[in-house]
Chains A and B, each alone.
Chain A
Amino acid sequence: MAARAPQGARDKLAFLLALVPYLLDRERADVAEVAEHFSVSEAEVRQAVRLIAVSGVPGETDAYLPGDLFDIDWGAFEDDDEIVITHRVVINEPPRFSSREAAALLAGLQYLSALPSAGGHEVLDSVMTKLSRSASAEPSQLAVQSAGDADRILATVAAAVDAGLSVEFDYRTARGTSERRVVDPLRVDSVDSDWYLRAWDRRREAVRTFRVDRMSAVTQGSQAISTRPGDVAVPDALFSPSDQDTCVTVLVDVQILPFLGEYVDSVPDEVPAAGRVEIGLRLAHPDVVSRIAARFAGLMEVVDPVELRDEVRSWAQSALDAYETVPPSSDRAD
């Protein structure tokens, strides 16, 4: 049996090689504290420590004699949940980053460069330089353009939170209505170039998700923040289903399925590799269906409800009508 070590074993090795230098540096460490520092469970820490304590090098005798092995203060470990390495072998420092590890973090940093919390360009530049220099090979060529655009608004939000104050802004919903909102910010989410503010809406007394590009006239509010992260749960999903949602049955080309994301409500058990498939969408407002149908023009057809199908047609017709009044463009040669 020469199976490739499962991914789990590789990750455990990475943890062991990171844990040893950390423990050596600390001299004495609490299992709980180590678990928190590395964001792993206490059981994983104990398992790793037990393995380290019996590991070492074959040594001159090839017999793994005690002097060739790590050792720990077993009493402190068993009785007090404390880790003290009493004998070390070979390892002093953590390993360098692989080219792909460095690249993954570097691309993540590029993406974040628009965030007000990123500590300014000096912090980012310094971190990126340090990372590139501490990889065991040239980082892979992977880059993500800065998420841009939202930084001004997010800076206002961050400053308000820093001052312990709520945030006020005009918000335009997908339904087309606009009103002033007063919120206690909880978290800022993003997906690619879209940014979202997750916040406690003070008038609605509920957690709401706001698209940053639909927010305008953003100002620091006058009221102190009363609902903080931890007081309420912020769901991971950006769009939580609501009773007022519109459910629509559509026929879509399977190639656009990955791009419909959280709109998708139901998909048949078996999806063909090519061709069209009937799926259910869940939308905050029926108008949204026209927009999606046009974004994937020709690849999505509304089936049910029939009235909505008619609405999509007249929506497209009125959009086309607007072009009948536009004088022919002068730059045909483009």
Chain B
Amino acid sequence: MAARSPGIPAQERLFSLVLALLASEHGLSKSDILSTVQGYRQRYDSSGGNQSLERQFERDKDDLRELGIPIETTEPPGEQGNNQLLRYRIPRGEYELPTELTFTPEEMAVLSLAGTVWREGALSSQSQRALLKLRSLGAHTAQTPISYAPRVSIAEDSFAPLSSALDRKRLAEFRYLKPGRLDAEVRRVAPLALVQHHGRWHLYAHDASADAPRTFLLSRIVGPVRELTTAHTWPLDGAAAAALEGLDRLWERQEAVIVASEGSDARLRLGARAHADDDGTLRVHYTDGELLADELAGYGPDIVVHSPASLVDAVRLRLGRVRALHSAGAGSTQRPGAPAASEQRGDR
């Protein structure tokens, strides 16, 4: 094909790069790529001064890696340390989906549904791309009797930067407001997993100052999350499962005793997830007393919390605040964002 004008679309350059790197058995040097591959060669200057094209190549490599395309670099023997002689290739075995991989129509249906769970942000585009690859296998998707529109929301701004630090294995720093404290304190952590438990996002991380794993509620992170350039070497393997197990254990251990009036909305909704004694007393498990207190305060006069005492106090404190804030002429004196002043253990 005759050389074209330099206006070659990015996807054509990226596609040509993948083809060239996959085809090469022994790898291509950077100058091979820049001078011959479609989309680069049109802008290549054989007399030198290709810095901007080299930067383009670096960014394109990042894009390929983002798509899960492995790029292998090798140094020719005896020439270590010379960047210009590095050879690049895409190893076919690590690039291709295993040929034996197949999915039944039922499995495809479940996977397609799983891909719709994320509606916004990076997770949404990542699951859409995963679905593209799956559809490439050509399997049919079974129809379900009723359609589902499931959704996991991510309202916390801290999710995206933490997810990035998690993937790059870098330390992150943020201000964290412990319940019962007035001021947020700076935490420096190695993020190990992001988990949603009972509808709440948690970060499981190795905390530098405590030198131990800690679980943080994303909704208690105040202000921006800073990703540090420092990489960490804490193992991530099984971290998400460990985080969920820890939260489950906590949930199992903590029980609130609540009496809800007969026929009330509270009785119905709490009852759906509680154990009810013979006399109708509800026993509700929970992970975070402060969050449960927020929810329970919302049921107002429909319930009375009997124990634990810390939860009773936390609910009464909230109701007292609502009363004070809505008394005549209050409002203006209320300090916004003042956190609950009840006691709470640990980092949750």
Q: Which residues of A are in contact with B by a Cβ distance under 8 Å?
A: 1-7, 9-19, 21-22, 25-26, 37-38, 51-52, 54-58, 62, 64, 69, 89-109, 111-112, 115, 117-119, 123-124, 126-127, 130-131, 133-138, 140-145, 147, 149, 157-158, 161-162, 172, 174, 176, 178, 185-194, 213-214, 216, 229, 236, 251, 253, 255, 258-259, 274-276, 290-299, 301-303, 309-310, 312-313, 315-323, 326, 329, 331-332, 334
Partner of B196, one of A95, A130, A144, A295: A144
Query: Are A100's CB and B325's CB within 8 A?
Result: no
Contacts of A315 in B (CB 8 A): 300-301, 322
Contacts of A14 in B (CB 8 A): 67, 129, 132-133
Contacts of A126 in B (CB 8 A): 107
Query: Are B107's CB and A136's CB within 8 A?
Result: no
Contacts of A332 in B (CB 8 A): 309
Query: Are A322's CB and B304's CB within 8 A?
Result: yes
Counting residue pairs across A and B whose Cβ atoms lie within 8 Å, the total is: 433
Q: Compute how far the CA of A97 lies from the CA of B198 in the bound complex, rounded to whole angstroms.
A: 28
Which bracket fits the contact residues of B?
A: 35 or more
Contacts of B194 in A (CB 8 A): 141-143
Known contacts A140-B166, A214-B265, A298-B321, A194 near B59 by CB under 8 Å: no
Q: Compute how far the CA of A253 lies from the CA of B337 in the bound complex, rounded to whole angstroms.
A: 7
Contacts of B97 in A (CB 8 A): 93-97, 134
Q: Compute how far the CA of A162 lies from the CA of B146 in the bound complex, rounded to whole angstroms.
A: 8
Residue among B136, B319, B321, B334 with most chain A CB within 10 A = B136
What residue in chain B is nearest A5 (Cβ atoms)? B10
Q: Closest CB-CB distance, A179 to chain B, in whole Å?
A: 13
Query: Are A101's CB and B126's CB within 8 A?
Result: yes
Partner of B195, one of A91, A142, A174, A313: A142
Q: Closest CB-CB distance, B17 to chain A, in whole Å?
A: 9
Q: Compute how far the CA of A95 lies from the CA of B134 in the bound complex, rounded to whole angstroms.
A: 10
Q: Compute how far the CA of A62 lies from the CA of B87 in the bound complex, rounded to whole angstroms.
A: 17
Contacts of B110 in A (CB 8 A): 109, 112, 117-119, 123-124, 127
Query: Are A329's CB and B148's CB within 8 A?
Result: no
Known contacts A91-B19, A192-B199, A229 near B147 by CB under 8 Å: yes
Q: Closest CB-CB distance, B298 to chain A, in whole Å?
A: 4
Partner of A95, one of B133, B155, B326: B133
1/0 contact trace for B1-28 toward A, CB 8 Å? 1000000011111111011101100000
Known contacts A97-B130, A187-B148, A22 near B138 by CB under 8 Å: yes
Query: Are A185's CB and B117's CB within 8 A?
Result: no
Query: Are A115's CB and B94's CB within 8 A?
Result: no
Q: Closest CB-CB distance, B15 to chain A, in whole Å?
A: 5
Residues of B126-161 contacting chain A, CB below 8 A: 126-133, 135-138, 144-153, 155-157
Contacts of A109 in B (CB 8 A): 110-111, 114
Known contacts A4-B62, A104-B123, A293 near B149 by CB under 8 Å: no
Contacts of B113 in A (CB 8 A): 108, 112, 115, 117-118
User: Is B294 positioned at the interface, with any CB of A under 8 Å from its CB?
Assistant: yes
What residue in chain A is nearest B11 (Cβ atoms)? A12
User: Is B243 positioned at the interface, with any CB of A under 8 Å from its CB?
Assistant: yes
User: Is B320 positioned at the interface, with any CB of A under 8 Å from its CB?
Assistant: yes
Q: Closest CB-CB distance, B235 to chain A, in whole Å?
A: 10
Residues of B173-195 contacting chain A, CB below 8 A: 192-195
User: Is B78 positioned at the interface, with any CB of A under 8 Å from its CB?
Assistant: no
Is the contact region of chain B dominated by helix, strand, or loop, or is it mixed?
Answer: helix
What residue in chain A is nearest B193 (Cβ atoms)? A141
Partner of B307, one of A18, A26, A331: A331
User: Is B272 positioned at the interface, with any CB of A under 8 Å from its CB?
Assistant: yes
Q: Compute how far the CA of A136 lies from the CA of B113 in the bound complex, rounded to whole angstroms.
A: 23
Query: Are B130's CB and A188's CB within 8 A?
Result: no
Partner of A13, one of B18, B53, B149, B323: B18
User: Is B284 positioned at the interface, with any CB of A under 8 Å from its CB?
Assistant: no
Query: Are A291's CB and B195's CB within 8 A?
Result: no
Q: Closest CB-CB distance, A262 to chain B, in whole Å?
A: 11
Partner of A191, one of B124, B153, B263: B153
Q: Closest CB-CB distance, A80 to chain B, in whole Å?
A: 21
1/0 contact trace for B47-61 toward A, CB 8 Å? 000001101100110
Contacts of A12 in B (CB 8 A): 11
Query: Are A297's CB and B322's CB within 8 A?
Result: yes
Contacts of B275 in A (CB 8 A): none
Contacts of B212 in A (CB 8 A): none
> Can you name 7 extra interface pairs (CB under 8 A) apart from A10-B63, A112-B114, A297-B319?
A21-B136, A51-B12, A95-B97, A96-B95, A123-B106, A295-B297, A318-B301
Contacts of B67 in A (CB 8 A): 10, 13-14, 17, 95, 98
Query: Are A37's CB and B18's CB within 8 A?
Result: no
Contacts of B117 in A (CB 8 A): 107-108, 111-112, 144
Query: Are B138's CB and A97's CB within 8 A?
Result: no
Q: Compute how far the CA of A22 lies from the CA of B142 in the bound complex, rounded to whole angstroms.
A: 19
Query: Are B23's CB and A190's CB within 8 A?
Result: no
Q: List 8 A-B contacts (CB under 8 A).
A: A13-B15, A13-B18, A14-B133, A52-B15, A144-B152, A297-B294, A316-B319, A326-B304
Query: Are B304's CB and A16's CB within 8 A?
Result: no
Q: Compute how far the CA of A15 lies from the CA of B62 in the bound complex, rounded to whole angstroms.
A: 18
Known contacts A101-B68, A115-B148, A127-B110, A298 near B62 by CB under 8 Å: no
Partner of B135, one of A18, A174, A293: A18
Partner of A142, one of B69, B129, B193: B193
User: Is B73 positioned at the interface, with any CB of A under 8 Å from its CB?
Assistant: no
Contacts of A124 in B (CB 8 A): 110
Contacts of B118 in A (CB 8 A): 104, 108
Contacts of A58 in B (CB 8 A): 20, 36-38, 41
1/0 contact trace for B301-334 toward A, CB 8 Å? 1001011111010001111111101110011001
Contacts of A291 in B (CB 8 A): 298-300
